[in-house]
């Protein structure tokens, strides 16, 4: 037997792509999918990139597939919305080289703005979806997906969830298969999706679905375990693990393919059990279809459409078991916060002081919405800060947004924010845009992007000049200011918000976690000078705490030496050490 290793779900997805002979991988980072690409770079046989957004990543993979090469795109669930345009039409075009998209959902919202279910998107796009339930299957299902893709001339989605992507399990390693590139044949009827051609392809998509409904009944990725037939459970993915834990005596149909559904297999299983349950996280995608075939089943009437499941939840719901546990203690929450030394804190402290509201965006700086900063009023999706501020202005007039700004990070600005800025210029907006440029994609763990000068594979490359880019789309006033130069920044913001033109302020300072070298400068409080006024605590730095005797102290294991606290102090009591 070959070697067994412990692998994160995302690491196993990457290994699966490698073993399947995948040659091109494109992605945009997003929790919980980021580590797929970060692991693919271990395999030199695969070209791998961070694209500026998910739409671009999907199109890169589609292009590679059309020319006959096995290609992968990976992203989080909301990223699939951005990539929906190429995906829906790639469904019509089909593939030449296998095309697989790994999409990671986030039940429980560990790091996302919504809890949407990728299976619903895939149904609309008429694309098959496979759903593994542990790391070993994560690898195997990706391999199966590539074969399926080529056999049925379709892109295939492999759906993950946070719990699968971020759990480790044992994986048996295999070798990379030697896949020859398919020859590219010029074929407008297949690859040029204009109305006349697309009509023909749509017919093929429908017959492909019909074929899959039948053929999938025999796919080895579906398994049936008959035990006591009083209870039968249809499930898939991570919920399968909870079902096995909670209902070891039940008969289980574990679906490896969840779109389209293997109808005969399901009907056969349903006919053999007394009470049928459908146990799936998020939306009742399987349940509603099964019920539409006239099969009686219990699902969301006893289980929730929100959050993650667990074995105890299933024990309670299915068996009515009372599980006696000690109650949780009612104690203070520990929400995520901006790190000590984070440059965003400096910008937000100024906005708070000036009583300016922010149309926010997606990234660490979304945390500016919570106490004690509380300056971010809205967060919608990647890039929406600039465009939604523009919408506010058009709704209420330019004077209405004189105490508003848009805040957006460097990565998010390049993702889709640039389009919004172009629109603001084109349609004569006057908003103020703060680009919080920390030289990285911070929240997802420091990925490079088009303005960092480095590719995913570690090569040096051209770095987009954000200032020039803003000027190129027509912004006349662009200021580049150090994020910790609070005086200059405050003055510039004050003038910008009342100006009758667009002003872009690029507040620059690297993410506090980016520089891994030891901290050389720290701050400490001179207790004799300190008046205990608490001004230094206003920015909400986690390294500063108030002792019970009223003394305010800076924790030397946490301070990153940004000096923002010293900047707040009116009594010269905070000094660098």
Partner 1 sequence: METKNIMIVGVGGQGTLLTSRILGGLTIGAGYDVKLSEVHGMAQRGGSVVTFVRYGEKVYEPIVEEGQADVLIAFEKLEALRYVHFLKKDGAIVVNDQQIDPMPVVIGAAKYPENILEEISKNHRVYKVDAIEEAKRLGNSRVFNVIVLGIAAQHMEFSKEEWLSVIEKTVPAKTIDINKKAFELGYNLR
**Which positions touch partner 1 (CB under 8 A)?**
4-6, 8, 31-32, 34-35, 110-111, 134, 163, 166-170, 238, 241-242, 244-245, 310-312, 323-329, 331-339, 364, 367, 370-372, 443-445, 537, 540, 542, 544-546, 557
Give, in order, the Cα–Cα distances in Å from 179 to each of 16, 307, 375. 14, 40, 53
Identity of the residue, 76 or 126, whose beta carbon is nearer to partner 1 in the bound complex: 76
**Which CB atom, from 123 or from 344, has the smaller least distance to partner 1?**
344
Q: How far is the CB of 148 from partner 1 (least distance, A)?
A: 26
CB of 111 to partner 1, least distance (A): 3
116/75 Cα distance (integer angstroms): 14
Nearer to partner 1, 497 or 544 (CB): 544
DSSP state string for 43-90: -TTSEEEE-SSHHHHHHHHHHHHHTT--EEEEEEHHHHHHTHHHHHHH
State CA 3 to chain mean position distance: 32
How near is the Cβ of 304 to partner 1 at its closest, in Å? 16
Of 101 and 373, CB closest to partner 1:
373
Give the pair of three-digit tokens for residue 439. 């030289």
In sequence order, what are the residues at sequence separation of 6 or more whose Cβ sits closer than 8 angstroms to the Cβ of residue 438? 343, 344, 409, 410, 483, 508, 509, 510, 511, 514
Q: Which is nearer to partner 1, 251 or 444 (CB)?
A: 444
Minimal distance, residue 508 CB to partner 1, in Å: 21
Q: What is the DSSP string of 526-553?
A: -TTT-----GGGTT--TTEEE-TTS-EE
Helix axis angle, 84-93 to 195-215, nearest 10°: 80
**Residue 444: CB minimum distance to partner 1, A:** 7
Q: Is residue 237 within 8 Å of residue 281, measured between CB atoms?
A: yes
By beta-carbon proximity to partner 1, the closer residue of 97 and 442 is 442
| Identity of the residue, 98 or 539, whose beta carbon is nearer to partner 1 in the bound complex | 539
Considering only CA atoms, which of 186, 128, 179, 181 is closest in space to residue 154?
128
- Shortest Å distance, C-beta 372 to partner 1: 5
Residue 359, beta-bridge partner list: 378, 406
d(CA 124, CA 154): 14
Nearer to partner 1, 332 or 458 (CB): 332
Collapsing DSSP to helix, strand or coil, 360 comes out as coil
Are the CB atoms for 396 and 433 separated by under 8 Å?
no
Q: How far is the CB of 56 from partner 1 (least distance, A)?
A: 22
Helix (H) or strand (E) holding 100: strand 99-105
Q: Rounded distance, CA 365 to CA 407, Å? A: 8
Residue closer to partner 1, measured from CB, 35 or 280: 35
Taking the complex as a whole, the smallest distance from the CB of residue 255 to partner 1 amounts, in Å, to: 17
DSSP 4: E
């Amino acid at each position: 037997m070959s070697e067994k290793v412990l692998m994160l779900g995302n690491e196993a997805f990457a290994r699966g792509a490698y073993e399947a002979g995948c040659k091109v991988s494109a992605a945009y980072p997003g929790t919980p999918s980021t580590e797929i690409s970060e692991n693919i770079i271990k395999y030199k046989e695969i070209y791998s990139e961070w694209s500026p957004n998910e739409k671009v990543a999907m199109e890169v993979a589609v292009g590679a597939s059309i020319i006959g090469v096995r290609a992968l795109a990976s992203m989080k669930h909301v990223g699939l919305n951005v990539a929906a345009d190429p995906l829906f039409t790639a469904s019509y075009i089909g593939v030449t080289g296998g095309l697989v998209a790994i999409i990671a959902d986030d039940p429980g919202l560990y790091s996302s703005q919504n809890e949407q279910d990728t299976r619903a998107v895939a149904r609309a796009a008429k694309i098959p979806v496979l759903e593994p339930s542990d790391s070993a299957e994560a690898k195997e299902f990706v391999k199966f997906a590539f074969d399926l893709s080529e056999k049925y001339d379709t892109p295939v989605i492999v759906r993950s969830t946070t719990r699968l992507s971020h759990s480790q399990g044992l994986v048996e390693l295999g070798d990379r298969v030697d896949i020859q590139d398919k020859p590219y044949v010029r074929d407008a009827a297949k690859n040029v999706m204009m109305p006349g051609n697309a009509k023909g392809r749509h017919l093929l998509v429908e017959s492909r679905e019909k074929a899959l409904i039948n053929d999938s009944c025999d796919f080895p990725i579906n398994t049936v375990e008959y035990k006591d037939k009083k209870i039968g459970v249809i499930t898939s993915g991570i919920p399968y693990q909870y079902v096995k834990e909670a209902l070891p005596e039940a008969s289980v149909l574990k679906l490896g393919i969840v779109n389209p559904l293997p109808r005969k297999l399901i009907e056969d299983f349903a006919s053999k059990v007394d009470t049928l349950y459908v146990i799936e996280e998020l939306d009742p995608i399987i349940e509603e279809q099964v019920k539409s075939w006239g099969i009686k089943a219990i699902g969301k009437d006893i289980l929730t459409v929100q959050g993650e499941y667990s074995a105890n939840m299933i024990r309670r719901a299915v068996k009515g078991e009372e599980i006696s546990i000690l109650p949780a203690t009612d104690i203070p929450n520990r929400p995520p916060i901006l790190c000590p030394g984070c440059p965003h804190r400096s910008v937000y402290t100024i906005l708070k002081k000036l009583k300016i509201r922010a149309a926010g965006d997606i990234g660490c700086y979304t945390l500016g919405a919570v106490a004690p900063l509380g300056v971010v009023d809205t967060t919608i999706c990647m890039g929406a800060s600039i465009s939604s501020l523009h919408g506010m202005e058009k709704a209420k007039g330019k004077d209405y947004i004189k105490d508003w700004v848009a805040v957006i990070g460097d990565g998010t600005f390049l993702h889709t924010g640039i389009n919004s800025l172009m629109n603001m210029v084109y349609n004569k907006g006057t908003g103020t845009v703060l680009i919080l440029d920390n030289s990285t994609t911070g929240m997802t763990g420091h990925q490079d992007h088009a303005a960092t000068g480095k590719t995913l594979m570690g090569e040096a490359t051209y770095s987009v000049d954000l200032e020039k880019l803003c000027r190129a789309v027509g912004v006349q006033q662009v200021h580049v200011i150090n994020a910790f130069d609070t005086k200059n920044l405050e003055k510039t913001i004050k003038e910008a918000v009342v100006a009758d033109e667009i002003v872009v302020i690029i507040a620059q300072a690297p993410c506090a976690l980016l520089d891994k070298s030891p901290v050389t400068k720290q701050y400490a409080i001179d207790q004799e000078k300190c008046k205990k006024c608490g001004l230094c605590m206003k920015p909400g730095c986690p390294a500063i705490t108030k002792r019970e005797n009223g003394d305010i102290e800076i924790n030397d294991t946490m301070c990153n030496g940004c000096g923002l606290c010293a900047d707040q102090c009116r009594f010269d009591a905070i000094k660098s050490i």
